[in-house]
Amino acid sequence: MAELRVLQVGKFYPPDEGGMESHLEGLCRHLSPHARLEVLVASRSRQTTHETIDGVSVTRVGTVATIRSAPVCPELRWRIRQSDADVIHLHHPNPSAFLSYLVSGHRGRLIVTYHSDVVQQRLLNAVYEPIVRAVLARADAIIVSSQEYMDTSPMLERYRVRDGRSRGRLGDPARPWRPSGARRRAARVLQGAGIPRACNGRRARARAGHRAGADARIARG
């Protein structure tokens, strides 16, 4: 079987600090042995840079402006379009990444990790919400960062699992990562793509196969 190609599209990447940044770093660390992994994030400057961090290829795309703490990266659309990834993995909230994905026309599978609602920036959210809904509607799997968002987020209401196919909890992305937790998250990304080979044990493989053929789009931890 050909190596799975995964493109992670985040907001920033360490040494930038934050819950989403720690989440993405831990995920990449444990996903990289099972896939050819590339990361696209925003740069803190207008310059696009490339580097390898712990074996992971990271491209920091030039930022031309910042709106309400959201980086604007016009080049990101082209980077996504040119990617040969089998799977695109987006992390919400990230307006530039979500819009760039929509206009890129990329045809690979799509996984979205839903870290949090946008609650304090109403003006931005009024513009961003239709984009988020359009992306979620295309997603092959949605991974939710907490039980609370799973149960209460208006954005996720139409996607909630009602038949018990997915159980458990992904965990709070703001908490420090434990290797075992990061490894489980990496397995779930592969499961969402229909690739159960990162999972250990019959039960995990059975869950992965079940999810790949399921109608439900929410994949909780």
Instruction: Tell me the per-residue pLDDT of 41-85, one tens digit each, with 9 for 90 and over.
Output: 999 999 999 999 999 999 999 999 998 788 999 999 999 999 999
Confidence of residue 86 (pLDDT cuts 50, 70, 90): very high
pTM of the model: 0.76
Question: Residue 21 has which token pair?
Answer: 């940044």
CB 114, CB 143: distance < 8 Å: yes
- What is the residue range of 47's domain? 5-212
The answer to whether the peptide bond before residue 15 is cis (omega within 30 degrees of 0) is: yes
List beta partners, residue 36.
5
pLDDT of residue 46: 96
Domain assignment present for residue 171? The answer is: yes
In angstroms, the CA 160 to CA 67 distance is 31
Domain assignment present for residue 218? The answer is: no
Domain assignment present for residue 10? The answer is: yes
- For the CA atoms of the chain, what is the radius of gyration? 16
What backbone phi and psi angles, to 5 degrees, belong to 57? -80, 120
pLDDT of residue 3: 82
pLDDT at 153 over 70: yes
Domain assignment present for residue 221? The answer is: no
Please give the share of the chain, as a percent, with pLDDT higher than 90: 44
Count structural domains, the chain: 1
Confidence of residue 147 (pLDDT cuts 50, 70, 90): confident
Phi/psi-derived region of residue 14, left when phi > 0, alpha when psi is between -120 and 50, beta in every other case: beta
Q: What is the DSSP string of 133-195?
A: HHHHHH-SEEEES-HHHHHH-GGGGGG---SS-S-S----TTSPPPHHHHHHHHHHHHHHTT-
In angstroms, the CA 160 to CA 151 distance is 8
pLDDT at 179 over 90: no
In angstroms, the CA 76 to CA 41 distance is 8
pLDDT at 116 over 70: yes
Structural element, H or E, at residue 20: helix 19-31
Phi/psi-derived region of residue 17, left when phi > 0, alpha when psi is between -120 and 50, beta in every other case: beta
Domain assignment present for residue 220? The answer is: no
Averaged pLDDT, 126-147: 87
Domain assignment present for residue 201? The answer is: yes
List Cβ neighbours of 39 (8 Å cut-off, separation of 6 or more). 7, 8, 9, 10, 13, 24, 28, 56, 57, 58, 59
Domain assignment present for residue 59? The answer is: yes
Question: Residue 88 has which token pair?
Answer: 């695109």
Domain assignment present for residue 80? The answer is: yes
What CATH number corresponds to the domain at position 173?
3.40.50.2000
